[in-house]
Amino acid sequence: MSTFFSTFTSPNPLKPKSYLPQNHHFSVKCSATSASLPPSVQTFWKWLNDEKVVSSKSPAKPGMVKEGLGLVAQRDIGRNEVVLEVPKKFWINSDMVLGSEIGRVCDGLKPWISVALFLIREKLREDEGGAYWRSYIDILPEFTDSTIFWSEEELSEIEGTQLLSTTLSVKEYVKNEFLQVQEQVISPNKRLFPFEITLDDFIWAFGILRSRAFSRLRGQNLVLIPLADLINHSASITTEDYAYEIKGAGLFSRDQIFSLRSPIYVKAGQQVLIQYDLNKSNAELALDYGFIESTPDRNTYTLTLQISESDPYFDDKLDIAETNGTKAVQYFDITLGRPLPPKMLPYLRLVALGGTDSFLLESIFRNSVWDHLELPFSRDNEEVICQVVRSACQSALSSYRTTIEEDEKLKGGNISSRLEIAIGIRAGEKKVLQQIDEVFKEKEMELDENEYYQERRLRDLGLVGEQGDIIFWEPK
Does the annotation list 452 as a binding residue? no
Characterize 41-75 residue by residue with b for buried, 16 or more Cβ atoms within 10 angstroms of its Cβ, and e for exposed. Answer: bebbbebbeeeebbeeebbbbbbbbebebbbbbbe
Counting beta carbons within 10 angstroms of the beta carbon of residue 90, is it exposed (0 to 12), middle (13 to 18) or buried (19 or more)?
buried
- Concatenate the DSSP letters of all residues of 36-80 into one string: GS-HHHHHHHHHHHHTTS--TT-SEEEEEETTEEEEEESS-B-TT
Region for residue 439 given its phi and psi (left: phi exceeds 0; alpha: psi -120 to 50; beta: otherwise):
alpha
Residue 438: which of 395, 394, 396 has the closest Cα? 394
Does the annotation list 84 as a binding residue? no
Pairing assessment for the beta strands 60-65 and 68-73 based on DSSP bridges: antiparallel
Angle between helices 162-181 and 199-212 (to 10 degrees): 120
Does the annotation list 289 as a binding residue? yes
Does the annotation list 67 as a binding residue? yes
Helix (H) or strand (E) holding 137: helix 131-137
Does the annotation list 448 as a binding residue? no
Characterize 186-212 residue by residue with b for buried, 16 or more Cβ atoms within 10 angstroms of its Cβ, and e for exposed. Answer: beeeeebbeeebeeebbbbbbbbbbbb
Three-state DSSP at 13 gives: coil
Does the annotation list 465 as a binding residue? no
Residues designated as active site: 276
Q: Helix H segments across 243-374?
A: 282-288, 314-323, 344-352, 369-373
Does the annotation list 276 as a binding residue? yes
**d(C-alpha 74, C-alpha 365), whole Å:** 67
Three-state DSSP at 84 gives: strand
Extract the annotated binding site for S-adenosyl-L-methionine.
67-69, 212, 232-233
Binding site listing for substrate: 212, 216, 229, 244, 276, 289
Binding-site residues, please? 67-69, 212, 216, 229, 232-233, 244, 276, 289
